[in-house]
C-alpha cells in the first residue's frame, strides 16, 4: 500500500483555520496533521465485526454477552481473541474472525455520510492526514478504496502491527512518530471509548464523534454527532 510521502514542511496558512459544528468552534492554529479512527468514525462497520466475533465465539462454544461485545468496540481482534475466546489459540481464531468480516465488507460496510468529503477538504488545505485504526490492514485498505480517499492519506497505522493496541496510547504515539510531529500539532477524530482513551493519553486534542452517551465522559475539545456536519472554515 503506497501513500504520499510527507513534505519536509507543512503548509503555512495565510488565513487561520477552524472547525465548526453547530455552535461549537475549535481553532486549528498550530495544527499540522489530522488523525482519523476508521470503524465507527469514517465507516459503518462495527456490525460486521460484531457479527464475525459472535459467530466464531459460538463456533468455539464460548458465550459472549452483549456487555462484553460493547466493551471491545474500537479494540483489536487480537485483544478480543486473547482475552475472551482462546488465549492459547490466538492466530487461527483471529484469522477466522478477520476472514469472515472481510467477506462481508463489500455488501455491508458503508461510508458515514460526509466523512470522505471532510478528509478531502483537510488534504486540499495542506494538512497531513493519517489513519490510526484497530482494524487489520486489509480491512483498512478496503475502506480507503470504498471512500476513494487513498490519495489523501499520508500515514496509516494498524494496531495489528503493534505490541499494544487501543486503549493504550501506543497507537497514537506511533502515528505521531511517523508523522514526525509533536502531539500539540495534531488533532484526532474518534468515536469509541478505547480510542478516546488512547488519543487523550497520547496528549492529542480529540474530537468525539457519534451519538454514544459515553463520549460525554471524555475531555474532548469538541463533540459532533455527525462527522459529515463538521465544517473546516478559513477565517480572516
| Tens-place pLDDT, residues 179-207 | 999 999 999 999 999 999 999 999 999 99
- Is the pTM for the entire model greater than 0.85? yes
Q: CA-to-CA distance for 225 and 139, rounded, in angstroms?
A: 24
- Do the bridges between strand 16-21 and strand 24-27 make them parallel or antiparallel, or are there none, so unpaired? antiparallel
Task: Record the cell numbers describing residue 25, joined without a space.
Answer: 468552534
Architecture of domain 16-44+110-235: 3-Layer(aba) Sandwich (3.40)
Contact 212, 91 (CB under 8 A): no
Q: Check residue 110 and give its pLDDT.
A: 95
- How far is CA 27 from each of CA 30, 31, 84, 187, rounded to the nearest angstrom? 9, 9, 42, 11
Q: Check residue 181 and give its pLDDT.
A: 96
Residues of the chain with pLDDT under 50: 2, 7-9, 13-14
Torsion of CA 147, 154, 161, 219, to 10 degrees: -80
Amino acid at each position: 500500500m503506497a501513500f504520499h510521502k510527507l513534505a519536509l514542511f507543512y503548509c503555512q496558512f495565510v488565513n487561520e483555520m477552524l472547525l465548526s459544528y453547530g455552535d461549537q468552534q475549535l481553532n486549528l492554529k498550530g495544527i499540522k496533521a489530522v488523525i482519523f479512527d476508521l470503524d465507527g468514525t469514517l465507516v459503518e462497520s462495527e456490525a460486521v465485526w460484531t457479527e464475525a466475533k459472535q459467530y466464531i465465539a459460538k463456533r468455539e462454544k464460548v458465550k459472549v454477552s452483549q456487555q462484553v461485545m460493547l466493551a471491545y468496540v474500537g479494540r483489536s481482534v487480537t485483544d478480543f481473541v486473547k482475552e475472551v475466546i482462546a488465549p492459547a489459540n490466538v492466530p487461527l481464531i483471529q484469522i477466522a474472525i478477520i476472514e469472515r468480516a472481510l467477506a462481508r465488507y463489500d455488501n455491508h460496510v458503508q461510508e458515514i455520510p460526509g466523512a470522505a468529503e471532510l478528509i478531502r477538504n483537510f488534504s486540499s488545505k495542506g494538512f497531513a492526514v493519517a489513519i490510526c485504526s484497530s482494524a487489520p490492514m486489509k480491512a483498512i485498505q478496503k475502506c480507503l478504496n470504498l471512500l476513494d480517499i487513498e490519495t489523501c492519506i499520508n500515514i496509516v497505522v494498524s494496531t495489528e502491527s503493534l505490541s499494544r493496541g487501543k486503549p493504550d496510547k501506543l497507537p497514537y504515539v506511533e502515528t505521531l512518530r511517523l508523522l514526525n510531529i509533536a502531539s500539540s500539532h495534531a488533532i484526532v477524530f474518534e468515536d469509541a471509548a478505547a480510542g478516546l482513551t488512547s488519543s487523550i493519553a497520547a496528549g492529542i486534542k480529540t474530537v468525539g464523534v457519534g451519538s454514544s452517551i459515553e463520549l460525554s465522559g471524555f475531555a474532548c475539545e469538541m463533540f459532533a454527532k455527525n462527522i459529515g456536519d463538521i465544517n473546516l472554515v478559513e477565517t480572516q
